[in-house]
């Protein structure tokens, strides 16, 4: 079993994995940077070499990308990344169709949908990778969340004013067991198409849910190296925190 504190003990890299963090200044203001750090750390613990590319508006696209992450921001942040997102729209749609794993939280989740209509009525077109439409509201949905998903129970914290509706046939990321989810009424949270996951769960979500982090990494690593050869990472504390939160919220 490998000890995360002894990450340097793995001397021979099993491969280099390129992570692209979209708009960290504008769209990761609710702690979502922790997702990128969790992925990079877990790659090292599993014996791989992470290379993190922070992609900013107007910057050239990284020469390689095996996994994309994006976070939440204010409506003004979404406006600031609109032009750059449009510049790379065809590339992002092609990567999604090709099976590249992506985890997009809150604002970036909304922008990967069909449209985001702000509370003031300003319509921001989305990329249409996820068949969802979001409308801003005056009332925020805030609080802890428990989901049932194909990768198990997921815990996190939602904080969003956008109310999202899934298109017909759009798979949600998970079913809400505690919390409000996409819109507080239909019992769904997030959306998933292929290997693209959109969600409102901050927290950030990946340190609290190691199984989801490794699920994304397995897809990325197989794409990059042809095989997933994980180490036996000790997630005891993370699992204990996760399970206690699930029990506490579901028994409330």
What average pLDDT does this structure show over 222-236? 97
Which of 70-74, 131-135, 187-191, 229-233 shows the lowest mean pLDDT across its residues? 70-74
Q: What percent of the chain has pLDDT over 90?
A: 80
Does 30 score more than 90 pLDDT?
no
Who contacts 245 (Cβ-Cβ below 8 Å, separation ≥6)? 144, 146, 155, 208
* DSSP summary character for residue 62: P
104-145, pLDDT tens digit by residue?
999 999 999 999 898 888 888 899 999 999 999 888 999 999
With H, G, I as helix, E, B as strand and everything else as coil, classify residue 146: strand
Selected catalytic residue, list 53, 202, 215, 242: 202
The count of other CB atoms within 10 Å of the CB of residue 13 is 13
Q: Which residues are annotated as a binding site?
A: 140
Strand 196-199 vs strand 191-193: parallel, antiparallel, or unpaired?
antiparallel
For CA atoms 126, 127, 133, 138, the dihedral sign is: negative
* DSSP summary character for residue 7: G
pLDDT of residue 121: 85
Q: Is 88 a catalytic residue?
A: no
What mean pLDDT, rounded, does the chain reach? 92
Does 197 score more than 80 pLDDT?
yes
User: Helix 210-225 and helix 33-45: axis angle, to 10°?
Assistant: 60
47-105, pLDDT tens digit by residue?
999 999 999 999 999 999 999 999 988 777 777 898 999 999 999 999 999 999 999 99
Q: Is 53 a catalytic residue?
A: no
Who contacts 28 (Cβ-Cβ below 8 Å, separation ≥6)? 21, 36, 70, 71, 72, 73
Rg (CA), the chain: 17
pLDDT of residue 47: 97
Q: Which residues are annotated as a binding site for substrate?
A: 140
Selected catalytic residue, list 106, 160, 215, 242: 106
pLDDT of residue 160: 92
């Amino acid at each position: 079993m490998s000890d995360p504190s002894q990450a340097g003990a793995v001397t021979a890299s099993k491969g280099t994995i390129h992570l692209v963090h979209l708009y960290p200044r504008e769209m990761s203001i609710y702690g979502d940077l922790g997702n990128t750090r969790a992925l990079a750390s877990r790659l090292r613990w599993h014996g791989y070499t992470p290379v993190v590319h922070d992609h900013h508006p107007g910057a050239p696209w990284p020469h390689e990308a095996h996994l994309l992450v994006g976070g939440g921001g204010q409506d003004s942040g979404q406006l600031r990344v609109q032009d750059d997102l449009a510049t790379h729209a065809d590339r992002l749609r092609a990567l999604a169709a090709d099976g590249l794993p992506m985890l997009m939280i809150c604002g970036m989740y909304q922008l990967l949908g069909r449209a985001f209509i702000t509370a003031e009525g300003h319509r921001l077109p989305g990329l249409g990778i996820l068949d969802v439409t979001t409308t801003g509201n005056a009332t925020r949905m805030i609080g802890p969340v428990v989901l049932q998903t194909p990768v198990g129970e997921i815990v996190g914290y939602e904080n969003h004013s956008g109310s999202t509706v899934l298109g017909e046939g759009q798979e949600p990321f998970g079913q809400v067991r505690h919390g409000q989810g996409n819109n507080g009424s239909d019992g769904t949270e997030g959306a998933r198409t292929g290997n693209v996951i959109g969600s409102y769960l901050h927290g950030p979500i990946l340190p609290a849910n190691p199984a989801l982090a490794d699920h994304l990494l397995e897809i990325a690593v197989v794409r990059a190296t042809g095989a997933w050869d994980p180490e036996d990472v000790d997630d005891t504390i993370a699992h204990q925190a996760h399970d206690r939160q699930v029990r506490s919220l579901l028994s409330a």
